[in-house]
Amino acid sequence: MMQRSYPSMCLDARKQFRRLPDFRRRLPTLLLYLALALTNSAHSVAASTGASDNPCGRIDPGYVLDDSLRGSFGSTQPVEACIDVLRAQNDGKRRLRIFVDGKHVLSNDDVAMGTEDGGMLGDPYQQLEISHGSLVVQNVGGGGPLRWSETWRLTTRNFQWIVAGWDEGGWDFHRAADGGGEFHQSVNALTGDVRDNYDPPGDDDAPTKRSSRRTCKLPPEWRSPAIARIAAIRDRSWHCDASFTKPIRGGK
Contact 52, 73 (CB under 8 A): no
* C-beta atoms surrounding 87 within 10 Å: 20
Residue (of 227, 76, 228) closest to 157 by Cα position: 76
What SS3 string covers 62-109? CEEEEEEEEEEECCCCCEEEEEEEEEECCCCCEEEEEEECCEEEEEEC
The per-residue b/e assignment along 67-81, b for 16 or more CB within 10 angstroms, e otherwise, is: bbbbbebbeeeebeb
Return all residues near 109 (Cβ < 8 A) that are at least 6 apart: 93, 94, 95, 96
Measured in whole angstroms, the distance separating CA 114 from the mean position of its chain's CA atoms is 13
In the predicted model, residues of the chain with pLDDT beneath 70 are: 1-50, 177, 203-208, 250-252
Measured in whole angstroms, the distance separating CA 136 from the mean position of its chain's CA atoms is 9
- In this prediction, residue 17 carries a pLDDT of 37
- In this prediction, residue 245 carries a pLDDT of 96
Return all residues near 45 (Cβ < 8 A) that are at least 6 apart: none
pTM above 0.85, yes or no: no
Task: Give the phi and the psi of residue 129 in degrees, each rounded to 5.
Answer: -145, 150
- In this prediction, residue 201 carries a pLDDT of 83
- What is the rounded (10 degree) CA torsion for 63, 69, 70, 73? -100
* C-beta atoms surrounding 65 within 10 Å: 15
Beta bridge partners of residue 68, listed in sequence order: 84
Domain boundaries, the chain: 6-48+120-234
Helix, strand and coil content of the chain, in percent to the nearest 5, comes to: 20, 40, 45
Q: Strand pairing of 63-73 and 160-172?
A: unpaired
- In this prediction, residue 53 carries a pLDDT of 84
Q: Strand pairing of 103-108 and 212-217?
A: unpaired
- In this prediction, residue 145 carries a pLDDT of 85
